[in-house]
Amino acid sequence: MAKSPEEIRQKFDIFMGHSETIRSEPTPEIDLGPQQPHHEVMTSITREELDAKLDAVRSDGRATAAEMKGQMSDLRADVAAQTNHLEAQFHQLRADITALVGGVGQSVARIEGRIDGVEGKIDGLKSSISMLQFIVGAALAAAAVWVGYQQLRIAQAPPAATQTTAPVPVQPIVIQVPAPVPSGQTQPAQK
């Protein structure tokens, strides 16, 4: 990207007030339009003046380069310090994550142990229920066998001689009804 002479002059203050070309003899003026910053013709410059200006530019360039080297050195030191700090934080973060993962592993192992314990208790309850069902079934079977045996024994036993008592004759109940009185007669009063 080509820069205009004005942009170059603004960047480097040392060229302010000087023309961009050096001529030993006057030349006819050429109209360059907006690219020509100075409109007057430049006069001759001596070799000593040119060398002095070039030495000034060279020393200023060297000073700028030395300053940039110092700034780059400071920047490298800052970047190295920040990198070391970030690495230390990264290692601390890694240690924290490792500790968390270890803690999670221990928690998972404890949970698995508790789950195994609960499963063992459930299996124990299943066994207890099965045993209780067996005992209740055996008791019911024994009761059924006993009841059946008792009924069989009663059925096989000869009928026992029982004394029968003659029925006691029941006296008939007699209800006496007075005889009807012919009309016109009065009934005697009872005492």
Q: Is the separation of the CB atoms in 17 and 38 below 8 Å?
A: no
Neighbours of 5 (CB within 10 A): 15
Report the predicted TM-score, pTM, of the whole model to 2 decimal places: 0.35
Report residue 57 as tokens.
């530019």
Residue pLDDT tens, the chain, 191 long: 566 666 666 665 554 555 555 555 555 566 656 665 656 666 788 888 888 999 999 999 999 999 999 999 999 999 999 999 999 999 999 999 999 988 888 998 999 999 999 999 999 999 999 999 999 999 999 999 999 999 988 888 776 666 667 777 888 888 888 887 777 666 666 55
Give the helix ranges, DSSP H, for the chain. Answer: 5-11, 47-156
Cβ neighbour number for residue 15 with a 10 Å cutoff: 16
Residue 14 has a pLDDT of 52
What are the extents of the domains in the chain?
44-129
Task: Give the Cα separation of 134 and 114 in Å (integer).
Answer: 30
Give the three-class secondary structure for 12: coil
Residues 22 and 45 sit within 8 Å (Cβ to Cβ): yes
**Token pair listed for 63:** 């000073």
Q: Among candidates 41, 23, 44, which has minimal Cα distance to 32? A: 41
